[in-house]
Amino acid sequence: MKRCVLFLFLLAGPVNAQDLSFRVDPTETCLWDSGEGGDKRACIGQAAAQCMDQPGGSSTVGMGFCLDRELSWWDSMLNDAYGQLMQAMRAADDGLPPELAIQASSLRDMQRAWIAYRDARCSHEASLWQGGTGSGPAYLNCLLHETAEQALYLGALYSGEG
């Protein structure tokens, strides 16, 4: 009986993720307002922070929900930037002798190495919480920031700003 009551209590919790609303507008607005020369890195986490400002948003479940939603948005931005840059690198490599046609393969290798680095760094970040409830949000926050930084980097390379 105790387990059943505990399980129901955990399900009820102080907030359910469906009680929170997430809007990416703060991050998008910040990116737009930063212009071409502005520090777009300052925009990372803006939408998640606003989401976490809602009642229940600072709970472990709430933080996880908010961070995951912005992470998903940045991941989409990263994938778009990578795809566009890869297409440009392949075009740049096209027609070159094999020893010079290295931009696309170099980009692929860099991205694969970055993924391994990101995962290791964020696992380490979570380990600092020694299994506590903060480890999940710490891991997601790290993934969010690392993914956003990489999306910005790839986007700047593609646009010629990098």
Q: Is the pLDDT of residue 12 over 70?
A: no
Q: Is 138 part of a structural domain of the chain? A: yes
Q: Is 12 part of a structural domain of the chain? A: no
Q: Is 7 part of a structural domain of the chain? A: no
- Give the pLDDT band (50/70/90) at residue 152: very high
Q: Is 108 part of a structural domain of the chain? A: yes
Average pLDDT over residues 77-81: 97
Q: What pLDDT, on the 0 to 100 scale, is given for residue 19?
A: 81
Q: Which residues of 128-161 are buried (b: 16+ CB within 10 A; e: fewer)?
A: eeeeeeebbbbbbbbbbbbbbbbbbbbbebbeee
Q: What is the pLDDT of residues 103-117, one digit of tens each?
A: 999 999 999 999 999
Q: What pLDDT, on the 0 to 100 scale, is given for residue 38?
A: 87
Residue span of the structural domain in which 88 resides: 17-159
Terminal CA-to-CA distance of the chain, rounded, Å? 60
CA distance 92 to 90: 5
Q: What pLDDT, on the 0 to 100 scale, is given for residue 27?
A: 95
Q: Is 9 part of a structural domain of the chain? A: no
pTM of the model: 0.84
Q: What pLDDT, on the 0 to 100 scale, is given for residue 33?
A: 92
Q: Please state which of the ranges 66-70, 73-77, 131-135 shows the lowest mean pLDDT.
A: 131-135
- Give the pLDDT band (50/70/90) at residue 161: low
Name the strand (E) or helix (H) holding 12. helix 2-12
What does the H/E/C string look like for 34-88? HCCCCCHHHHCCHHHHHHHCCCCCCCHHHHHHHHHHHHHHHHHHHHHHHHHHHHH
* Between 85 and 17, residue with greater pLDDT: 85
DSSP class of residue 19 equals: G
Concatenate the DSSP letters of all residues of 99-156 into one string: TT--HHHHHHHHHHHHHHHHHHHHHHHHHTTTTSTTHHHHHHHHHHHHHHHHHHHHHH
How many CA atoms lie less than 13 Å away from 159 in the CB half-sphere? 12
What CATH number does residue 92 fall under?
1.20.1270.180
Q: Is 8 part of a structural domain of the chain? A: no
Q: Is the pLDDT of residue 9 over 70?
A: no
Count of domains in the chain? 1
Q: What pLDDT, on the 0 to 100 scale, is given for residue 162?
A: 59
Phi, psi of 24 (to 5 degrees): -85, -5
> What SS3 class is residue 93?
helix
